[in-house]
Structure 1
Amino acid sequence: MSVTVRIPTILRTYTSGQAEVEAAGATLAEVIADLEARHTGIAARVLDDSGRLRRFVNVYVNDDDVRFEQGLETPTPDGSAVSVIPAVAGG
């Protein structure tokens, strides 16, 4: 299963500046593992020490927030678009 992963500017140092990269996996967890294999260090920015999604990073699969789907077990069908979006706060 091949998906396109949209990489935010802050994480592009791990993808040699690429805004979009390809990854493989049937679930979001598998996609993140494949990303890590191809772009070492990126998983630590998306996952916490317990292996869960960091609370300040939003991840979408085809415009669906994975927090309201199945989290890391959210299916990523072939051709899906995965977006990694850091949360923005301020005041």
Structure 2
Amino acid sequence: MAVSVRIPTILRTYTHDESQVSAEGDTLGAVLDSLESSYPGIRARILDEDGKLRRFVNIYVAEEDVRFDQGLDTKTPDGTQISVIPAVAGGC
């Protein structure tokens, strides 16, 4: 199943400066594996050493935050838009 993945500026060095790429997979985990095959090193910026989503990376599948869905097991139907968004912290 082909999906579209929106890549944040900070990770575009892995995607040859592409802001949106295609990947395959019926779950988010499979999509990340597909991304890693095409763009080596990108998965390590999204997942930690234990294979879990990094704390400061948010991923949305069809505008739903995967942390409140099924995490890496979130279904990614054909044509789904996935957004990888680094968390922004700050304050006064």
TM bucket by the smaller chain? over 0.9
Q: How many residues align?
A: 91
Aligned to 1:31: 31
- Specify the code of the residue in structure 1 equivalent to 2:9: T
Moved over 3 A (4+): none
| Identity value in percent | 63
Task: Provide the secondary structure at the position in 2 that maps to 1:77.
Answer: coil
Gapped runs of 5+ residues in structure 2? none
Normalising by the residue count of structure 2, what TM-score does the alignment of the two structures yield? 0.98
What is the CA–CA distance in structure 2 between the aligned matches of 1:69 and 1:2, rounded to whole Å? 20
Q: Which residue of 1 aligns with 2:44?
A: 44
- Per-residue deviation, 1:2: 0.2
Aligned to 1:85: 85
How far off is 1:5 after superposition? 0.1
The answer to whether 1:76 aligns with 2:79 is: no
Which secondary structure state, in structure 2, belongs to the residue aligned with residue 23 of structure 1?
strand
Q: CA deviation at 1:33?
A: 0.3
Aligned alpha-carbon RMSD (Å): 0.3
